[in-house]
Structure 1
């Protein structure tokens, strides 16, 4: 995890984030939860293919795992804003523990079936949507406001690490014992549940009871988000870049195949990309203290355009890995900056709806990019397609640079470190939030 300030003392400086007991528990439990999701996600297709040998059955289970990302985001966001976040997260982890446990038992006893696995995949993915929306809103309530960038940077690093470890880990566990990945995931969800039970601080501010319909609450969240010009423009950049990155992912596989290289080459590039993402996540707070949100946004889009274009001219695996590492580094910094801005500017009672809308946008454009990428690569080939991707990213960066929303609506920044604030101000702020205590 990341810490920002020295231990508390007579100067009144904030204690390091690593000494915040509640955040440590939340971060550790969510780490186990994210790792479980990665392990199970890679295991579903392996298990179905091993038991049935049917690509169609595999696609059914994979579709069941992805469907909640499109169907559940908006209603989940409204329900997360309506319900108690801590209780909801506990219920999600209990549900996932039981669901994955049934899959492990079915595999161990030889009674597994495609409908059962599809149902488990749907339940796990749906509960994951609720959990992640609630956890995003909970963070701001367990850390001091000055340390929110560091907390979200630690969360971003956690997600990157879970991706790097979870996928190969799931494959390894499956190769040892077929039911081992699901047992591991189930136990990890139990660990996450226990960590939530140990947290003392509330995950939300006081809320008034609501009698409005769910549809009206969803509409309220959408209207609020639409009025936020800077956030709306940033989400537009995210949506456009998500489409392009899906094309790049498909192009990378084709590049390796066309060069006659081993599939193991892909794993090397993926690992290098993951390392870049980790470095970007860990340095996210550092960038936020030195650059404005607008500079990070425009600079990141420009860097992406340069790196994407360079990929069309490179075939050497280490060079490709370095370029993908660069895009992941920029993406991680961008995610931290966008997360800090969204969490800080969104009212606590709307955190779920705003985050859910953003996630739905990302999920939808990922699906669009995967579909359009295949058509583009089939028609144009890898080199021209990747050049087109780089040009499209450059166009997005140019449009962002001239966007009135980004030029005239500069959001708050975190360029002033916590230790530079007057001690009495820090002490006053710390009294308002006991998340930094202990």
Structure 2
């Protein structure tokens, strides 16, 4: 999707487009489950009809695009997959910002997977049932949606590196707070506040990568980054299970907050993120 957007959207609109996509995804996460339940209540086949209509709308919208989406004539579309991935890897290795983002994304996704499971255990430990789990998740999703909608404004007002560093520390503080707040709704409130500032990170990273990665390499680089983003997700449930087995749920969540704090130290100390502020320092 993003490689195609690069050919349609002017470079100065990259942040707005990335923020819009993020807000769309968050809205779908928030509205999707209750809507599917409502449609399923009408008739069991209605959600599947709605899903089919959504794919039809996507196909129609794609057919109406008139801008060439590639590959261009000089691009070697038939090049073996391993060579394409190797070329993407060489670009990531040659760029300091990409060398930071690749392992950072893998680690933070693994930590988030562990955190989700530990928060579920914490809610259950404090007497919350499925309704409480859903309510906490919904409150957090509202914060993520608000953050996505606020992304363009935040990116205009706050330098990219400053936003990433502040969000990293806020995430660590928020996880620690969620471990010790006494009421279940307060866990959701803390997560909502954190997600307001965490959600724009995808916009910051995606819009910058759309600027620096060449068109002919974007698909290869994004495929590599997506692979790295998911390569440690399987570790999250194992770590969450070990922590929950050895410690109380609150202590396990607090320890995950400590892990996010260590990650925040790394984020603040790396020089690679100064590249996010290059556009602000260039003379106009």
TM-score, reference length from structure 1: 0.60
How far, CA to CA, are the matches of 2:197 and 2:70 in structure 1?
Answer: 31
Match of 2:91 among 224, 232, 236: 224
RMSD of aligned Cα (Å): 2.1
Match of 1:321 in 2: 188
Deviation at 1:204, TM superposition (A): 4.5
Is 1:153 aligned to residue 34 of structure 2? no
Which runs of structure 1 show a deviation greater than 4 angstroms over 4 or more consecutive aligned residues? none
Match of 2:155 among 272, 277, 288: 288
Match of 1:139 in 2: 5
How far, CA to CA, are the matches of 1:204 and 1:291 in structure 2?
Answer: 35
> What does the per-residue CA deviation read over 1:247-285, in whole Å, with 9 as the maximum and x for residues that have no partner?
221122222222222321122111111111111111112
Is 1:354 aligned to residue 221 of structure 2? yes
Deviation at 1:323, TM superposition (A): 1.1
> Secondary structure in 2 aligned to 1:274?
helix
Alpha carbons 1:255, 1:315 under 8 Å: kept: no
Alpha carbons 1:293, 1:413 under 8 Å: kept: no
Is 1:305 aligned to residue 191 of structure 2? no
Cα distance change, pair 306–415 in 1 and its aligned pair in 2 (3 A): farther
Q: Unaligned 5+ residue runs, structure 1?
A: 1-134, 422-438
Cα distance change, pair 181–264 in 1 and its aligned pair in 2 (3 A): same
Alpha carbons 2:119, 2:253 under 8 Å: kept: no
How far, CA to CA, are the matches of 1:332 and 1:345 in structure 2?
Answer: 21
Is 1:178 aligned to residue 44 of structure 2? yes
Deviation at 1:156, TM superposition (A): 0.5
Deviates more, 1:247-256 or 1:269-278: 247-256
Match of 2:139 in 1: 272
TM-score, reference length from structure 2: 0.91
Cα distance change, pair 208–330 in 1 and its aligned pair in 2 (3 A): same
Deviation at 1:358, TM superposition (A): 1.8
Deviation at 1:153, TM superposition (A): 0.5
How far, CA to CA, are the matches of 1:353 and 1:362 in structure 2?
Answer: 14
How far, CA to CA, are the matches of 1:241 and 1:258 in structure 2?
Answer: 25
How far, CA to CA, are the matches of 1:197 and 1:388 in structure 2?
Answer: 50
Alpha carbons 1:153, 1:284 under 8 Å: kept: yes
> What does the per-residue CA deviation read over 1:335-356, in whole Å, with 9 as the maximum and x for residues that have no partner?
1001111111111111111112
Cα distance change, pair 168–367 in 1 and its aligned pair in 2 (3 A): farther
How far, CA to CA, are the matches of 2:231 and 2:38 in structure 1?
Answer: 31
Is 1:202 aligned to residue 68 of structure 2? yes
Deviation at 1:398, TM superposition (A): 0.8
How far, CA to CA, are the matches of 1:166 and 1:352 in structure 2?
Answer: 29
> Secondary structure in 1 aligned to 2:244?
helix
Alpha carbons 2:88, 2:221 under 8 Å: kept: yes
Alpha carbons 1:256, 1:263 under 8 Å: kept: no
How far, CA to CA, are the matches of 2:251 and 2:21 in structure 1?
Answer: 36
